[in-house]
Amino acid sequence: MIMDSILFIINPIAGNGRAKSLISIIKSTMEENKKKYDISITHAPKEAIKIAKEGISKGHKIIVAVGGDGTINEVATGIMRGGKGILGIIPGGTGNDLARTLKIPENPREALRLILIGNSKKIDTCFVNNNLFLNIASIGLDSEVIKNIWEIRSRINGRISYVIGFIRTLLSYKYKILEIEIDNMHLNEEVILAAIGNGKYYGGGMKICPSAIIEDGYFNVCVIRRINIVKLFLVFPSIFWGEHIKFRKYVNIYKGKEIKIKGLERLWLNIDGELKEIGEEASFTINNKGLNVVCE
Ligand SMILES: Nc1ncnc2c1ncn2[C@@H]1O[C@H](COP(=O)(O)OP(=O)(O)OP(=O)(O)O)[C@@H](O)[C@H]1O
């Protein structure tokens, strides 16, 4: 029965090849445990959506994303389009931020153990203008950093591109004037960034929405207002520990179900780690417990 067979979808470029290197561990663990499985390797962005949806229609119950947040997002999209199924995760990306929120172990054997046990829980699913996200969508400084890194990477590769991208963004960053609507509350702010979180972490462990709960049906919205560059260098590193919320003069956390953000120009959003141009208005909705995910 294909229902008993677990489908693993591997993104070969995730984590600079880390996900691909996990194939042998997956095979040996499944064989040792006499479990049926299939492995599918993606060849291009978005292909995981199609593979996951087909996997559901063929009867796979558990579909495992082997990669980072981008791969998980695509596999989840495919599962949801298939109308049923359970998402499994083996962290194989660079940041693995959603896995961090869900407390899925980084160690692939441990993550596989959870998949073999097969316990699951329902988590919230979020949309921004029809784009699914499970973790965080944000506007502002962080999206600009990603955009700058892309540009720099066409000339310089490796870790140094991140450092240059980050510093270049900080030095040249223009604040965004945003109209933010959280349920019935209206804000008109000059912001460094606004992050709309279902999960807590992004950017490889930055705890931007420390009080977000992934199954409570609410968004946590972190707004960091305009501050001078010296204070920015103080506030920004504190995000790694979720300590930025102490800077109440500049940082506010809100909770809500329906969020709307309007900008003066077209908005670039960082959606589960992928950059996307979204238009002048972004509209966020959340479905309580919309997706089944393998967990502890
Ligand atoms: N064969 C492929 N070739 C090129 N890109 C691919 C391929 N398969 C998937 N992708 C794309 O790779 C992108 C990055 O994947 P993913 O986010 O999982 O890895 P990562 O960036 O290393 O991890 P993280 O998001 O956790 O930091 C995804 O947007 C996906 O569309």
Ligand 1 pocket at CB < 6 A: 11-15, 42-46, 67-71, 74, 93-96, 273-274
Rounded distance, CA 105 to CA 99, Å?
7
Question: Which amino acid, residue 266?
Answer: R
- For position 149, what pLDDT does the model report? 79
> What's the CA-to-centroid distance between 149 and ligand 1, angstroms?
15
- For position 1, what pLDDT does the model report? 62
Q: What is the mean pLDDT of residues 151-174?
A: 76
Q: Judge contact between 111 and 90, C-beta under 8 A.
A: yes
Class of domain 2-118: alpha beta
Closest C-alpha to ligand 1, atom 28: 70
Rounded distance, CA 256 to CA 197, Å?
10
Q: What atom in ligand 1 is closest to the CA of residue 71?
A: 18
User: Is the fold of 2-118 the same as that of 133-289?
Assistant: no
> What's the CA-to-centroid distance between 110 and ligand 1, angstroms?
22
The DSSP 8-state label assigned to residue 198 in this structure reads S
- Average pLDDT over the chain reads 93
Share of the chain above pLDDT 90, in %: 77
Residue 156 has pLDDT above 80, yes or no: no
As a residue count, the chain comes to 296
- For position 94, what pLDDT does the model report? 86
pLDDT band at 142 (very low <50, low <70, confident <90, very high): confident
CATH of 133-289, one of 3.10.129.10, 3.30.1490.20, 2.60.200.40, 3.40.50.720: 2.60.200.40
In this prediction the ipTM stands at: 0.97
Candidate from 19-28, 53-62, 138-147, 166-175 with smallest mean pLDDT = 166-175
pLDDT band at 93 (very low <50, low <70, confident <90, very high): very high
Q: Pick from 42, 50, 71 the residue to mutate for probing ligand 1's pocket: most ligand atoms within 8 Å of its CB.
A: 71
Q: Judge contact between 283 and 291, C-beta under 8 A.
A: no
Domain range summary for the chain, segments of one domain joined by +: 2-118, 133-289
> What's the CA-to-centroid distance between 245 and ligand 1, angstroms?
31
Q: For 232-257, how does the pLDDT look when each residue is reduced to its tens digit (9 = 90+)?
A: 888 888 998 999 999 999 999 999 99
